[in-house]
Structure 1
Amino acid sequence: MFDDLREGGWDTDAYLGPSEFYNNFGRFDVTIDVPAGWIVGATGLLQNPEQVLTPTARERLSRVLESDSVRTIVGADETRAGRGTLAGDRLRWHFVADTVNDFAWAASNRYVWDATRAVIPGDETVPVHILYLPGDAQRYAQAGPTVRHALQFYSQLWIPYAFPQLTIVDGPEGGMEYPMFIMSSVGAADHETGHEWWPMMVGVNETWYGFMDEGFNQYMNILSDADAEGKAPNLDGLGQIYGRVSGDEREAPLMWDANYGGPMYGFQAYEKAPMMLSMLGGIVGDTAVRRAMSEYARVWRFKHPSPWDYAFAMDNALDRDLGWFWYSWLFTTDAVDGSIQQVTTSGPSTTVTVRQDGQMPSPVVLQVHFASQGPAIRSMPNSTMTDSVTAIVRYPVDVWFGGSRTFQAELRFGTRKIDKIVLDPHCRFPDRNPTDNVWPRDPTLVATTGGMFGPVACYPHRDGG
């Protein structure tokens, strides 16, 4: 890969295992010569089915796009020359793949071949091929429907799947991805299918910036899992988790080369980005985050964005300058450490003193619980009533930009008694010690090093999803 931004020339980083690849897009024209009776799956489209498959197998294959049924192309009792494949000594399987950044293939004389379809937005229907060993039939029983759901869901979430097929194979890896080709059982099938968006369509540098690959994929897997279960996605609580581990000497920032992520490589590459996007959703709304990510994918489809390109694309899509946010999450291991220090009431006005001891700033989001009865609750311009006795009050992050560690929020709701106030009620911000986010203090909240376990006052997010 020629990279004139970071490398100043050809990227020569070695493949070391944990982090993966950084490849350019191109065309692969590959012929694979195997003994007759062997089934081959690969990146790209099979160009010569009439030269390798029996008429029966070809007829079954021609009907795959007709319905969502999982059809058997080559059954367990057909895995030999003359039954699944044509007879003879050797057969040459010819595959062509356009605009891909890698090529992979698998072959076996024992593969069972099933297939189904996925309907992509825009009325594009693509086949999904499932190749597995007979003894693994149970593990692959739901692989087709799982991959179908992933392809259809992610095509609607981000951008339409751009390739003409997807093959899932029973291979030596429990989960590994290539263009149009994944090695996985049903357990990791959704995750590996997600990689067809990054890095297969949005060609990020996986070697250096694993979070743009694995991390974004983990985020979308959370959304896909919820959709598969018929539930609305809920990222409440996710962002706050980072406060428990932030600043650990074993943790590398997201911008650190993933090959040298150290003992917390998995956290750096996989787990931190969903937490980052949970916090961003707590600021701009989860729906806005998903729309911005979709726009990022559209703009950088079959290109090679850097982290700076990603940040600028998100800023543009959200129409905000989020430099403070990207700096904290990408370049540091800082966290939020907010607290409610004091609450005083005088007539119709209540002053909430909020302190920020963390190095990462955050907006001030207060949830105010009123007594069930009393004088009418007045409206405030920066507040929203979520029910008859609960209000959310928001102040922008720039209340901290002047350098002060304290901020006084003036609540003018009238004289209705306030029973409880919660800072960051949806637990979106990575707070080192959320036990002091509640007023009056709740003795049932148990503080631990870097965070909290036990009851947490996180409530459903109400920005429309």
Structure 2
Amino acid sequence: MIKNLICTSLSVVWLALSSGNAQTNSVYNYTEAFDPIFYTQNGSPYRSASGKPGHAYWQNRADYKISVSLDERTNNVSGHLTILYTNNSPDDLQHIWFQLDQNLFREDSRGQATIPLQDSRYGSAESGFNGGFQLANLRFSDGSKASYDVIDTRMRLELPQALKAGGNSISLEIEFSYIVPEYGADRTGILDTKNGKIYTIAQWYPRVCVYDDILGWNTDPYTGPGEFYLEFGDFHVEIDAPADHIVVAGGELLNPNEVWTSEQLGRYKRASESEKTVLIRSAKEVTDPASRPNKKRLTWKYKLDNAHDFAWASSKAFIVDGAKINNPSGKSALALSAYPAESNGGNAWERSTEYTKASIEHYSKKWLEYPYPVAINVASNVGGMEYPAISFCGATAKAGNLWGVTDHEFGHNWFPMIVGSNERLHAWMDEGFNTFINGLSTEEFNKGEYHKKFGNRNSMAPAFSRSDLEPIMSSPQNMKEKNIGILAYYKPAYGLRLLRDEIIGAARFDNAFRKYIAYWAYKHPTPDDFFRTIENETGENLSWFWRGWFKNNWALDQAIRSVEYEALDPKNGAIITIDNLQKLAMPVVIEVTTASGQKLRKKLPVEIWQRNTSWRFKINTTEKLTKVVIDPDNVYPDMDPYNNVWPRN
């Protein structure tokens, strides 16, 4: 054994010396790319090493009862909130943290201080607008006053005594009010139409921060880019609005008899049973006072169970239509669209309910059944924003743009409304995952009506490989705003498509992805939980992929170094040498064209790069080769496609 080892070692040295003049300038480091130590923590009772929730997994709970009133004259929202907070953690809690997102719109907020003067979607477009919550009468269920401290977009509320671990609860009440910003960071706001204002109301009540086994209290301030991380619970909401308004919300309407006219109530019920869109309130009726009950104000009562947020919209300008959503189990939900006359016609919002229905039915069948009783799409001055069972989309969107934003925002019901990841820190776990499933949905919708086949999928490679691009696993607050689209949406979605289509295979990946959704439905996964689930379900060690694509901003550059014939005779086959020039490793697909025009392909696994920066392999052919191409389908993110072709022009 020793003798043979010495001979082998000498042979390796000789080969290395003899080929030294042919080495290229590669920055690839295979020991770094394939470092076996990727995870920084072992599995725990709370989070299994297999990616599943552990046998002792826990999360706290917040149940909300809210009565709220909308004043159209002052754009004021005011309400009374009762929260039942349950501590399922193993820790006694001395205080509770809340999110006060409307405080972003105070002139002295951290968010306003960090929002660029131009070309930012975050903030308020109103000059001199000074918003934020007004809080009063914070008290516990026994009537005692609560001591609290507001710090920017957070509030720390002291408990009169420790809330004991293991399922103990406390109830408290808060009165609150705020002025709705006209443009609220592209997440909430007011759209003026010819028939009245459309209010899209979100982030409108004090919300309990998450206490988890990762960071304890998650209290990152809301500055605009990072979205939300919230506890699950049940919502009972009563919304008092002018009687000429229609109020739609992400929840089951409990009193339709009291808020619809008798004719509209009949249409509403027909819509809930119809496969085709049914008009509930037409464009003509919008300007007809008889289309609303003859009262000054009405209260709309809604409930939503096992959700982590609640949003709503109100307007006297709404056209409303609806249709039935079919779930695989046989249960149904109601798709509704609410939009102004300006958005009606010309392949625009009159198709919104069709899009909503198709999108949700696809995701329910493909991934996990839709859990909510309704799905509401609202036309607004919010370009696209999601909340459980309700979406706000741009009122001017049409055709493929309206399909795209509708499909994207309702896809968010799976990420992060069902799979409740921390959007404030890991935007890619909701935006990227959602963008990935949107691509599959669009391919299927109406036989590909809006599906665009990319002739060159790796055309995005230069954008993904920019040296000034932050890693995907940066928080949205830690990215340049111009990079958020790439890093939170497109690059992670592209990476998942690579895993699915090129590295793992569609059937195996889809099964693993479904398992991830099922394991973490209504729970709080971390990036490691996702990585571990995919690895354990597929049986693949993907640390090289997570490390290069998500944790670092590594680039890919595969290149053909040389093409030779064995013993200088094409009949003996061709020897091809390829190099990995940049830090990212990937499988290699090679296509050769012979003198007679025959095309042959060979796929090499990523493992060829486990201990090499270059690789030689043989193509069995008896003819001369006229062309050799790496990545003939242009699906890998290669930053330099020119060195992928032999002979080079």
| TM-score, normalized by the shorter chain, greater than 0.5 | yes
The answer for the alignment partner of 2:647 in structure 1 is: 440
- In structure 2, do the counterparts of structure 1 residues 391 and 286 end up closer, same or farther at CA, with 3 Å as the change threshold? farther
The answer for the alignment partner of 2:503 in structure 1 is: 283
Question: Residues 47-86 of structure 1 correspond to what in structure 2 (within 5 A)?
Answer: 47-79=254-286, 83-86=290-293
The answer for the alignment partner of 1:266 in structure 2 is: 485
Question: Residues 5-404 of structure 1 correspond to what in structure 2 (within 5 A)?
Answer: 5-7=213-215, 9-79=216-286, 83-138=290-345, 139-185=348-394, 187=402, 188-228=405-445, 230-231=447-448, 237-238=456-457, 240-262=458-480, 263-280=482-499, 281-346=501-566, 347-372=571-596, 389-402=598-611, 404=612
Secondary structure of 1:192's partner? helix
Secondary structure of 2:380's partner? coil
Counterpart AA for 1:359: K
Root mean square deviation, CA, Å: 2.1
Q: Shift in Å at residue 180 of structure 1?
A: 0.5
Secondary structure of 1:183's partner? strand
Cα deviations by residue, 1:236-289 (Å, 9 ceiling, x for unpaired)? 743x34531345343111111112211312211111112212322222234433
1:4 aligned residue (212, 216, 225): 212
Cα deviations by residue, 1:422-455 (Å, 9 ceiling, x for unpaired)? 11222232212111111222x3xxxxxxxxxxxx
The answer for the alignment partner of 1:454 in structure 2 is: none
Secondary structure of 2:522's partner? coil
Q: Which runs of 5+ in 1 are unaligned?
A: 374-388, 444-465
Counterpart AA for 2:498: M
Counterpart AA for 1:111: F
Secondary structure of 2:639's partner? coil
Q: Distance in 1 between matches of 2:287 and 2:265?
A: 15
Secondary structure of 2:294's partner? coil
Q: Distance in 2 between matches of 1:333 and 1:360?
A: 9
Q: Shift in Å at residue 94 of structure 1?
A: 0.4
Cα deviations by residue, 1:395-433 (Å, 9 ceiling, x for unpaired)? 22121111x21100122x241443322112222322121
Q: Distance in 2 between matches of 1:27 and 1:284?
A: 39
Q: TM-score, normalised by structure 1?
A: 0.85
Q: Distance in 2 between matches of 1:66 and 1:341?
A: 64
Aligned length: 423
Q: Which runs of 5+ in 2 are unaligned?
A: 1-208
Contact 1:242 / 1:275 at 8 angstroms: preserved in 2?
no
Cα deviations by residue, 1:139-194 (Å, 9 ceiling, x for unpaired)? 31211111111111222222121211101112231211100001114522111111
The answer for the alignment partner of 2:615 in structure 1 is: 407
Q: Distance in 2 between matches of 1:429 and 1:112?
A: 46
- In structure 2, do the counterparts of structure 1 residues 310 and 82 end up closer, same or farther at CA, with 3 Å as the change threshold? same
Counterpart AA for 2:444: D
Contact 1:355 / 1:405 at 8 angstroms: preserved in 2?
yes
Q: Distance in 1 between matches of 2:512 and 2:282?
A: 44
Counterpart AA for 2:427: G
Q: TM-score, normalised by structure 2?
A: 0.62
Q: Shift in Å at residue 295 of structure 1?
A: 2.3
Larger Rg: 2
